[in-house]
Amino acid sequence: MTTTSLSFIHRFEPATVPGKPPILLLHGTGGDENDLLPLGGMLAPGSALLSPRGKVLEGGMPRFFRRLAEGVFDEADVRRRAAELADFIQEARDAHGLAAPIAVGFSNGANIAAALLVLRPEVLAGAVLLRAMVPLADTPSGDLSGKPVLMLSGSMDPIIPADNAARLAAQLTAAGAEVDHKILPTGHGLSQADVTIARNWLDRLTAKTA
């Protein structure tokens, strides 16, 4: 059900399997709160799914923060929108009785998830970053000690330079996160390999914390 009762329009699907970590789904440019629900069901069957719609419009397409050009972000807006999203996550946790979620973000959604990790690390239990870039040139030195992060990049991605993705992985590792960065032989879109790797990673994480 889509609901507007909290600070973001969002969809929430309750858990059907007790003890599985909730999943926060963060769509790419032009997506909405429905976009990644099928992916969430494939990656984490039985987990609660929380899927907000980005509040920024670019040419009528929802995003989670403004950009000035392709790959050039409005960093003041990144910080403001990350704070808004972090507050929403806490609202949703209180409303639905959720543990801290694991973010699964694609493209723009992966970038706001990366921003949450460095700006408000306490709101996430971990993250799956699909086609992520460095969200902030001046990265805060947050403490991500032991926080699990899976990064999946495409070796033929026309949008994200390989050195940018590598820099993000290095920044998160330097902050203490347990980063697993894999580079797949694909472009910016998701492949079956993304789904398989992410699901196996989440399964191992759930088994470890059970």
Q: Using CA atoms, how far apart are residues 16 and 25, in angstroms rounded to an integer?
A: 17
CA distances in angstroms from 10 to 23, 132, 146, listed in the order given? 13, 22, 29
pLDDT in tens, 172-206: 999 999 999 999 999 999 999 999 999 999 999 98
- How many other CB atoms are found less than 10 A from the CB of residue 151? 23
Across 14-31, average pLDDT: 95
CB 102 within 8 A of CB 85: no
Token pair listed for 150: 């899976």
Token pair listed for 6: 């909290």
CB 115 within 8 A of CB 78: yes
Domain ranges of the chain: 2-209
Q: Amino acid identity, residue 168?
A: L
Say which CATH architecture domain 2-209 belongs to: 3-Layer(aba) Sandwich (3.40)
* pLDDT given at position 138: 80
Q: Which residues are catalytic?
A: 107, 157, 188
Specify the 3-state DSSP secondary structure of 24: strand
CB 145 within 8 A of CB 117: no
124, burial (CB in 10 Å: exposed 0-12, middle 13-18, buried 19+): buried
pLDDT in tens, 69-114: 888 899 999 999 999 999 999 999 999 999 999 999 999 999 999 9
Taking the model in full, what pTM does it have? 0.96
